[in-house]
Structure 1
């Protein structure tokens, strides 16, 4: 099949907070903008049930915030395609080439905002129980456990927030982590005050059991070395994330899976920017992702104008 070839001023890879913010700004500057997303629009934040640290909102669901941002970007002409998966990219060229299942796109600028993916439970039996008791999205699957016994694995904000959300369904909820909790104190306190909840620290999940679906998890108590079985109906895993940067590792020098780029979001390749969680930086928040998207789009305009004027400085 001959693929259709199209030129875009800016191709944005990833439709999370950084990518959609970049699309909004780039669209407002009358550029032709394409956003490619292989997963869920909004990324990790789309599943957040109550965001309380985004300026201008006392509390907002992640899905609502992302839907508003997507509409803004589309109102200014950005096109978002979540069904045409990327096969390969050629970044160190002018124009850049992004080949998908159905198209070959030529782009003056590429903004990489591909975000992160939740880590899978590192047990050999995980595939057997995936979506049969083992889950990674509380917002998507929590409703299936009304009046059931639920376990949540993890100790960061994502895990504690998931546990707080799942208490609306659970008869009993266990939060299990192999070390002390890292979540903010407000979220921890809310969870500990819920009479349905038992927090189990210094515990590791060593196995999963059940016939057709998950029925119990095998725990190892690091304090005393004892092992025992805990009956549960569902396990929601929140043990960290990995950068979605596999596409770029041959052309960009990665550091721990992330893309080196300064606060100007410029990578080592002219016309290629990195924005959001995949950029190597110390602080990763919704606000910093939005700032990256803004910066990348505004500096993309300067780069494109330079190309028109025959300037290739970077």
Structure 2
């Protein structure tokens, strides 16, 4: 019988794995086809404590993985097709039909940034295409960049990026913005922010060094235009990776898992959540790692207490 299974291998899941492994709980970590989450698409990480010279995102994830393995964590590859949380021990079914059972589960499946889905975008992620201003804004000092989006996040990130860029152009396919009035006013009052409304992105242009421009369609004149830029920040939202749970855990209206304040506990005893799958505010590697630590400690405490409690009477 497995004591703990961790679903997801970003900084949250790997931190949880390190803590549980050091507690001799021998956790099983399920990693999907893109292990490491969004850090694997980040070229250089300069804001993770302990690395004054910075570190490549994939290298940071690989080091965390090795650290977890050193203490006895075991990794399994594959999608989780189905989870049964109605009884304990909990049951997981991986792609191909393999079944696993565990007394506790930590969910750290993250949230996937939404992309535009246009030509030249995917291949330039990390080469000028970004979905995180806090993570990558520093690399665009004194450069002209574009923010695509019309919501509060787009306005907030555009304002933040003006600390580094010489000019930030907001591109949005409509005339009206979804952002709140206070966020719109803040952006419009910033002298470094310019606007290209009623423009639909068509294609990301790039050269040897990365992004060079964004081709857009003017929805009023039907004319195409190329906006020169060295960076494009796509801020059209995130999708929490919770669909596989089939509604068994409480979520907000977007799909983010709800945890009890000050903890990683979900509405089902023995099931915990950490990282971006339950955090739609900060979405940083360091906060994800911190929440992974919380989940591991909560999980360890639960397993200790479950030895003396009949949880079958309290499960949904």
| TM-score, structure 2 as length reference | 0.72
Name the SS for the 1:217 alignment partner: strand
Change (3 A) 1:300 1:207: closer
Aligned position for 1:145? none
One of 238, 241, 244 as aligned partner of 1:241: 238
Shift of 1:276: 0.8
Aligned position for 2:290? 291
CA–CA separation in structure 1 for the residues paired with 2:167 and 2:214: 25
For the Cα contact (< 8 Å) 1:113–1:278, is it kept in 2?
yes
Aligned position for 1:14? 8
Aligned position for 2:174? none
Name the SS for the 2:251 alignment partner: coil
For the Cα contact (< 8 Å) 2:144–2:167, is it kept in 1?
no
Shift of 1:121: 1.4
CA–CA separation in structure 2 for the residues paired with 1:278 and 1:86: 15
CA offsets 1:85-130 (integer angstroms, 9 cap, x no match): 21100112110000002420001110000001121316xxx4xx3x
Change (3 A) 1:202 1:178: farther
Aligned position for 2:183? none
CA–CA separation in structure 1 for the residues paired with 2:8 and 2:279: 16
CA offsets 1:233-268 (integer angstroms, 9 cap, x no match): 999663332110101242112102101102210001
CA–CA separation in structure 2 for the residues paired with 1:73 and 1:91: 26
2:132 aligned with 1:138:
no
CA–CA separation in structure 2 for the residues paired with 1:288 and 1:190: 23
Name the SS for the 1:191 alignment partner: coil
Change (3 A) 1:283 1:135: closer
For 1:50-61, list aligned pairs within 5 A.
50-58=44-52, 59-61=54-56
One of 213, 225, 228 as aligned partner of 1:230: 225
CA offsets 1:37-87 (integer angstroms, 9 cap, x no match): 2242221122223333322222332222212111101111112223x2211
One of 163, 166, 172 as aligned partner of 1:192: 166
Aligned position for 1:259? 257
**Where does the alignment leave 5 or more consecutive residues of structure 1 unmatched?**
1-6, 143-149
**Aligned alpha-carbon RMSD (Å):** 3.6
**Where does the alignment leave 5 or more consecutive residues of structure 2 unmatched?**
169-191, 205-212
Aligned position for 1:177? 148
Aligned position for 1:69? 64
Name the SS for the 1:183 alignment partner: helix
CA–CA separation in structure 2 for the residues paired with 1:45 and 1:289: 11
For the Cα contact (< 8 Å) 2:146–2:232, is it kept in 1?
no
Name the SS for the 2:4 alignment partner: strand
2:215 aligned with 1:217:
yes
Change (3 A) 1:137 1:309: farther
For the Cα contact (< 8 Å) 2:158–2:193, is it kept in 1?
no
* Segment drifting more, 185-194 vs 89-98: 185-194
CA–CA separation in structure 1 for the residues paired with 2:95 and 2:43: 33
Name the SS for the 2:156 alignment partner: coil
| TM-score, structure 1 as length reference | 0.73
CA–CA separation in structure 1 for the residues paired with 2:136 and 2:283: 17
CA–CA separation in structure 2 for the residues paired with 1:85 and 1:184: 35
